[in-house]
Amino acid sequence: MENIEDIDLQIWEYLDASCDASSMARIADLIVTNAQWQQRHTEIAAFHKRIAQHCEPDMPSMRFTKNVMDVIVHTDIAPATKTYINRNIVKGIAAFFILLIAGTTIYALSVTDYSNGISNPALPFNIKDLKLVAILNNRFLNILILINVLLGLVLLDSWLRKPRSNKA
């Protein structure tokens, strides 16, 4: 035998139509065939009907949206953050690299041998021996021009996308 609370719960689901079709058919069959289910159904259905007659759902006032907007207007909007990056972290990273470069420079100067005594050091190779014509061939110049044109277009695009302030 089922518990009365379980029967009531199933009948409420049946009346609210919140159960699936197979449960609806099973509960309808039990209401027709079982006296206990029939009695509970009539009591709950009568109570359900009284609730529906005496209780109307609360409707918001016609000015509800306007009232909400009026309240929102008077609240202070949080200002947008100036940056999303912590400046102390950026300064720390910059200090790390500056110290790294300074340390490397100091180390390089400290281990350099100054005893050579050459006052005017010469290049280790002769410039006239370089074949600049072989290096600056047609393909190299075309690639160099292409890169410069692309960089110019990027610069022009960024300049055209900048918002102009109308101070006139």
Across the range 8-15, mean pLDDT stands at: 89
State the pLDDT at residue 56. 73
163 located within any domain: no
| Residue 23 covered by a domain | yes
pLDDT band with cut points at 50, 70 and 90 for residue 83:
low
- In percent, the amount of the chain with pLDDT more than 70 equals 84
The answer to whether residue 153 sits within a structural domain is: no
The predicted pLDDT at position 108 comes to 84
**Close Cβ partners of 36 (under 8 Å, ≥ 6 residues apart):** 7
pLDDT digit string, tens, across residues 93-107: 999 999 999 999 988
Residue 154 in this model has a pLDDT that exceeds 90:
yes
Residues present in the chain in total: 168
- Between CA 148 and CA 135 the distance in angstroms is 18
Residue 77 within any structural domain of the chain: no
Rounded to whole angstroms, how far apart are CA atoms 138 and 118? 40
pLDDT value at 114 more than 60 = yes
The total number of structural domains in the chain stands at: 1
Please indicate, yes or no, if residue 100 is contained in any of the structural domains. no
pLDDT beyond 90 at 140: no
Given a cut of 90, whether residue 71 has pLDDT beyond it is: no
48 located within any domain: yes
Distance CA 35, CA 19 (A): 22
In a domain, 161, yes or no: no
Domain that holds residue 25: 4-59
| pTM of the full structure | 0.35
- pLDDT (tens digit, 9 = 90+) per residue, 42-65? 998 898 888 878 777 777 777 888
DSSP string, 124-147: SS-GGGS-HHHHS-HHHHHHHHHH
- Residue 107 belongs to some domain of the structure: no
